[in-house]
């Protein structure tokens, strides 16, 4: 599958049923899905929806959510392309720290630079989202990715366990 066969666009309110259907294929939570509060990228092939990914922003932090690719399009590069576009969108929106909860895809995200952190280490604005307050299972892994290369900021950034230790010392 090539990029030319796929189109990726921002989802609108009219796409919410399509997004929910895609999420249902992966048994992912969608009760609080809202294109008014979250931004979703929708990937289509020949006009048919085949994947989506969402971003819920809170200042310079973002919650990555609702990442799904239809089973018949998995392992074909759709997810990789969609994920890359979401990272670009997050950077464009000024997100510096990207967080997520996952019960099934921890290895996927660790392989893409995310690091496991304690849930209490996420910013309060992310911890107060519906996903963190109860819609995602309590045993889900909490992961974080610091987005590098933000214009005007060349400070070294603590990563993973180092960040957790720094935050423990700040309380």
Report domain extents, the chain.
3-169
Per-residue tokens: 129:
């989202």
Percent above pLDDT 70 for the chain:
81
Of the candidates 113, 96, 10, the one whose C-alpha atom is nearest the C-alpha of residue 53 is 10
Per-residue tokens: 107:
């290895």
- pLDDT tens sequence across 106-123: 999 999 999 999 888 889
The mean predicted confidence, pLDDT, of the chain is 81
pTM: 0.79
Q: CA of 166: how far to CAs of 147, 157, 163, 170, in Å?
A: 18, 11, 5, 6
Superfamily for the 3-169 domain: Gcn5-related N-acetyltransferase (GNAT) (3.40.630.30)
Position 49 confidence tier, pLDDT thresholds 50, 70, 90: very high
Asked whether residue 167 carries a pLDDT value surpassing 90, the answer given is no
- pLDDT tens sequence across 132-145: 777 556 778 999 99
Q: What is the pLDDT of residue 1?
A: 47
């Amino acid at each position: 599958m090539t990029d030319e066969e796929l189109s990726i666009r921002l989802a609108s309110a009219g796409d919410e049923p399509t997004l929910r259907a895609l999420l249902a294929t992966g048994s992912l939570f969608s009760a609080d899905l809202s294109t008014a509060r979250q931004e979703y990228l929708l990937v289509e092939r020949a006009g048919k929806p085949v994947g989506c990914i969402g971003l819920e922003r809170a200042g310079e932090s973002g919650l990555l959510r609702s990442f799904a690719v239809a089973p018949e399009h998995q392992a074909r590069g759709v997810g990789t392309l969609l994920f890359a576009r979401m990272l670009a969108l997050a950077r464009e929106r000024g997100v510096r720290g990207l967080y997520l909860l996952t019960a099934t895809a921890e290895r996927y995200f660790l392989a893409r630079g995310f690091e496991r952190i304690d849930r209490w280490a996420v910013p309060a604005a992310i911890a107060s989202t519906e996903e963190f307050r109860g819609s995602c299972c309590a045993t889900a892994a909490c992961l974080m990715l610091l987005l590098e290369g933000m214009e005007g900021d060349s400070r070294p950034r603590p990563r993973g366990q180092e960040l957790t230790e720094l935050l423990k010392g700040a309380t």
